Structure 1
């Protein structure tokens, strides 16, 4: 938006802040006036399993970013050491269904610890000031915002058999029929934007984010750290472009979500995505890459 790439492709784009992946999925699934959602694609898959006609169009982060943060100087090396500890999470969030399986890897249940549900906006601050022994959230988002006050390390859920796709773009089948070309252009430009950032334009991205969302009163230093923390979650193979669908990512996601009971019917992984919508941006608007 800041660089005029959407306009160069003939798109008139309006973006609104969401309130978490689950609510974004619900809004798109209800057929609201939004054409595309940006959220955890695992949440989108859960919504599709419940009957929402949604499909992924551009996965960006190809492994889960959910995990637990613990103090760096603590003796907590994995879920087993959380016994008797006070742990923060948010009920109704994407992370909630995975907690039991994570604890099971340490031979624990919820009854073995003091598990407290708090509002998502309060988790980071509550943990950072030492009112809990651990916090469960999305690691790249929360890690930079708490580490200045409380030096911490992460226990990624992906290390405990809970791996799945994370953030990306999705849309409804109806919108795809109505606006396929425009949606494809939008997804292609956003995918190019992420690749542009990853190619060494982090500071430019931070400036653009702050300029586009002045009401959010964002901290540039924390934003820069969050972008850096996101990098390991993007595709590591040079053969997989940012935003391109890799069927194996959805196969592992179906397996994980079915294992924890978040999806019941275990649909064919191909039911959850549309391939080949993202294309080289120079075929859409050559001036973007000049």
Structure 2
């Protein structure tokens, strides 16, 4: 018994000194799989920066960062137990739970609604009503999909007044850039920097029509939150550190993403602008002065009212079912 105890203490001491063999160090690290929303773009900068700088390893985490095929697909995989954490549009938690998913938002970084409709920068269009007689393009699984009719209604319009073309996600930008549509339903941070070179654009914001929809953050299943809470807490702490660094030096995120995804042929100018726009949408009045990732009940209640109006969730919801701050505080 004494020999076993001595061996255990020696291993602990060696781990603290960083002299354990690599295989032994790996066994001591908590493994987490993180599925992102899409192929690399600026909103993922903190995750890649943390990986590139070795901050996850310093937090005793072995993080497998996976590129995704859309926030909806990532949520499905997380709910199916095929990934521990998803970095997604957390507003989609509402529709996922309505379909029986057991996921919650465990941290939201972008609290402001960034859903927007891109239109030509020199266009006279300024509001929903200006879309009368126009064509807008969207993909079927877009976070925009449930809110289209609510958005149009706010300007006294219906789909009889605006042509809404639903295309495959891969054809979305091509359709807009080729000017086969007057507007494109997307998000500010992802779309504006990409459109700049081919079709300089501005945004008609969903929030201007009263739609609230929390943007990017992290989600996990309730049983994962219960069983891996300590590891998830450290993951969020590292993400907070990375976002703080990006607030001071967004260029660090560009370098990290290019280093971590060298085959993705990423454009540093687009990445930098995406990171800056991501940071612009971080805070609401309810989250000012709170830790990065902390979620306000008021913001979730506003979002759920929008979801109820769009038919995404039924009346009688409880905001606390959709998020938790337990891993942020």
TM-score, with length taken from structure 1: 0.91
Q: Contact conserved, 1:235 with 1:241, CA < 8 A, in 2? A: no
CA distance in 2, matches of 1:176, 1:238: 26
The residue matched to 2:185 in structure 1 has which SS?
strand
Q: Which residue of 2 aligns with 1:105?
A: 154
Match of 2:293 in 1: 243
- 2:134 — aligned with what? 85
Q: Distance in 2 between matches of 1:186 and 1:219?
A: 27
Unaligned runs of 5+ in 2: 1-50
1:220 maps to 2:268: yes
Q: Secondary structure at the match of 1:274?
A: coil
| Of 217-226 and 107-116, the range deviating more from structure 2 | 107-116
Instruction: Measure the CA separation in 2 of the matches of 1:53 and 1:162.
Output: 24
Instruction: Pick one of 138, 146, 162 that aligns with 2:187.
Output: 138
Aligned residues: 277
> By how many angstroms is 1:50 displaced?
1.9
Q: Note if 1:274 corresponds to 2:324.
A: yes
The alpha carbon displacement at 1:60 in A equals 0.4
8 Å Cα contact 2:94/2:312 also seen in 1: no
Structure 1 Cα separation of the partners of residues 170 and 244 of structure 2:
29
C-alpha contact 1:87 1:135 (8 A) present in aligned 2: yes
Mapped pair 1:47 → 2:113: no
SS of the residue aligned with 2:203?
A: strand
Cα deviation for residue 276 of structure 1 reads 3.2
| Residue 69 of structure 2 corresponds to residue 14 of structure 1 | no
What is residue 186 of structure 1 aligned with on the other side?
235
**Aligned equivalents of 2:190 and 2:228: distance in 1?**
32
**Coordinate RMSD, CA, aligned:** 1.4
**Residue in 1 aligned with 2:222?**
173
Inter-partner Cα distance in structure 2 for 1:116 and 1:182: 43
Instruction: Judge conservation of contact 2:128–2:209 (CA < 8 Å) in 1.
Output: no
Q: Could you report, residue by residue, the CA deviation over 1:65-111 in whole angstroms, capped at 9, with x for unpaired residues?
A: 11101112222121212122121111122111111111111211112
CA distance in 2, matches of 1:141, 1:266: 34
* C-alpha contact (below 8 Å) 1:58/1:191 kept by paired residues: no
Quickly say closer, same or farther: Cα 1:3–1:261, change in 2 above 3 A.
same
Kindly name which structure, 1 or 2, has the bigger radius of gyration based on alpha carbons.
Answer: 2
How far, CA to CA, are the matches of 1:258 and 1:7 in structure 2? 42
Choose which of 242, 253, 278 in structure 2 pairs with 1:205: 253
Task: Give the equivalent residue in structure 1 for 2:73.
Answer: 23
Asked if structure 2 preserves the Cα contact closer than 8 Å seen for 1:60 and 1:167, the reply is yes
CA distance in 1, matches of 2:178, 2:240: 37
What are structure 1's unaligned runs of at least 5 residues? Answer: 280-290
TM-score by length of 2: 0.81
Stretches of 4+ moved more than 6 A in 1?
none
State the shift of 1:245 in Å: 2.0
3-state secondary structure, aligned to 1:116: strand
Indicate conservation of the 8 Å contact 1:80/1:108, yes or no: yes
1:207 CA displacement: 0.6
Whether the 8 Å CA contact 1:244–1:276 is kept in 2: the answer is: no
Per-residue deviation, 1:37: 0.7
